[in-house]
Amino acid sequence: MKAILYCRKSSESEDRQVMSLDAQEKELRKVAQRDGIEIVETYRESMSAKAPSRPLFGEMVKEVAKGKIDGILCWKLDRLARNPIDAGTISWMLQTNQIKFIQTHDRTYLPTDNVLLMYVELGMSNQYVRDLSENVKRGNREKLRRGEWPNHAPYGYRNDKNTKTLKVIPSQAKVVKGLFEDYASGHYSFSDLRKKYDLPKSTIERIIKKTFYYGLMERDGKFYKGIHTPIISKELYERSQEVKKQVTVHRPRQEKLFFTYRGLMRCAVCGCQMTATRKKGMYDYYYCTNGKGACDQHKEYLNESKANEFFEKALENIKFDEELVDIMYEASLEKLQNSQDDNEQAFNDIKNQLENLKRQERKLLQSFTSELIAEELYKEEVARIQKQKENLESEMQNYSQDTNTRLNTLELTKSVFLEGNKAISEFRNAEPEQKHKIAQNLLWNLEVKDKNVLSYKYKSPYNIIANAPKNGDLQTMLPD
């Protein structure tokens, strides 16, 4: 494998913390040796990458275009690009297989990698994205004022791309209406509704809370009158909220104590499960069960509020600015659609070739029936054409599958980001059972010592987000 080694450090403040060119080169040479990569050329650029037109970067791109290079070695992706033009160049070279990999000190990026994350990591952490994000926010506020919903349609509706409005999904609307009516009757608990409608309890609770269904949109605590078709009346909504109030007041005391974080943490010293107890004054404490009989952590009590603090902080880490996710998604979608156009062209080419083969087949048959060619030759030719046809047909199938798979991956990535966010924003105000579930879904391997969570891991795929830039606070995307 042949690669170019590219190091960059500017004298500007953005790069103050970045390793020196010498150090970058030294470390990357180690990586190359480890992975059996042959370095054919080394570029050392002392320049910011905020604006396009770095001379050495340009030279490198030209070198890559000659097609004699397999990949690029660089310390971090943001060494390669920090502006949308160069970022586009890099990801395009990768996607079109002009380069087969980018190796950084800790990761390999391949043509099949997720475009969304790569965009974030590729120096898109600049004013460009910030402005774009501001524009989106401004646009969203204007939309809300006009009564349009700027985000993904809530359950019961779908976004109509053509009219840019929300359309009711009749089957889901029926469910929403049924939920409100049943709940407002006072005869159903959320658990009853879950059984009857086969929806998660958290979804049902979310639906029952939403003023959206009678026409009032809520965003960041502010309310806007929507122009979408309501599914229920305001009166029905208010009745259901009355029931909810009563249920909350009359909630029976739980017989068995439920501890939010019991079963989630282990003792770092002896490996036993942490158990919990409720002390006078209503405080919950977690401590090592000392199952092996010799643990000094047995008397170390981690209190509930400290545990809460930890879990909230850990979950904040994998929160992602939803608008940023939208921007990344739209950008990737556009790119996918462009490549789809290319695909379509290739697809049509194949179709033409197939037509051509069919014409040849007909001609051949004519020649044979009018005894212009011998049977042996005829059979040979038919077999040849048949083989070509089969090849083309399977190629055709690949094209359509390819686009679909990539579209699915993109949708999946987006929903991972958004679902994670939803869980996290619910966490703070959730009931203990719900908190337990959210924490369990997102975190594992929690080890506690001396009343502190010593170590923990994010479950896949949230571990990816945990390592990616945080919170739409684009400052944090800068290298440390």
- The Cα–Cα gap between 90 and 92 comes to 5
What minimum distance in Å lies between the beta carbon of 24 and Zn ion? 44
Number of residues that bind Zn ion (CB under 5 A): 7
What minimum distance in Å lies between the beta carbon of 180 and Zn ion? 49
What minimum distance in Å lies between the beta carbon of 303 and Zn ion? 17
What minimum distance in Å lies between the beta carbon of 293 and Zn ion? 10
For Zn ion, give the closer residue by CB, 173 or 272: 272
Residue ranges in 273-332 that form contacts with Zn ion under rule CB under 5 A: 288, 295, 297
Quick count: other Cβ atoms within 10 Å of Cβ 77? 25
Virtual CA dihedral for 394, 400, 401, 407, nearest 10 degrees? 170
**How buried is 298 (Cβ within 10 angstroms: 0-12 exposed, 13-18 middle, 19+ buried)?**
middle
- The 3-state DSSP class for residue 183 equals helix
The letter for the amino acid at 301 is Y
Report yes or no: 116 and 332 within 8 Å, Cβ to Cβ: yes
For Zn ion, give the closer residue by CB, 267 or 331: 267
How far are the Cα atoms of 5, 41, 64, 105 from residue 72, in angstroms, in the given order? 6, 10, 9, 12
175: left (phi over 0), alpha (psi -120 to 50) or beta: alpha
What minimum distance in Å lies between the beta carbon of 266 and Zn ion? 8
Helix then strand then coil, in percent of the chain rounded to 5, is 55, 15, 30
**How buried is 446 (Cβ within 10 angstroms: 0-12 exposed, 13-18 middle, 19+ buried)?**
buried
What minimum distance in Å lies between the beta carbon of 458 and Zn ion? 24
For Zn ion, give the closer residue by CB, 178 or 263: 263
What minimum distance in Å lies between the beta carbon of 440 and Zn ion? 21
What is the DSSP pairing of strand 274-278 with strand 284-288? antiparallel
For Zn ion, give the closer residue by CB, 275 or 367: 275
**How buried is 443 (Cβ within 10 angstroms: 0-12 exposed, 13-18 middle, 19+ buried)?**
buried
- Residue 83 lies near Zn ion (rule: CB under 5 A): no
For Zn ion, give the closer residue by CB, 7 or 265: 265
For Zn ion, give the closer residue by CB, 267 or 438: 267
For Zn ion, give the closer residue by CB, 194 or 298: 298
For Zn ion, give the closer residue by CB, 56 or 270: 270
For Zn ion, give the closer residue by CB, 21 or 270: 270
What minimum distance in Å lies between the beta carbon of 410 and Zn ion? 45
List the x/- string, 252-281, binding to Zn ion by CB under 5 A: ---------------x-xx-x---------
Q: Is the dihedral of CA 303, 309, 314, 318 positive or negative?
A: positive
What minimum distance in Å lies between the beta carbon of 276 and Zn ion? 14
The DSSP secondary-structure symbol of 37 reads: P
CA angle, residues 205, 211, 217, in degrees to nearest 5: 125
The H or E element containing residue 410 is: helix 375-427
Contact set with Zn ion (CB under 5 A): 267, 269-270, 272, 288, 295, 297
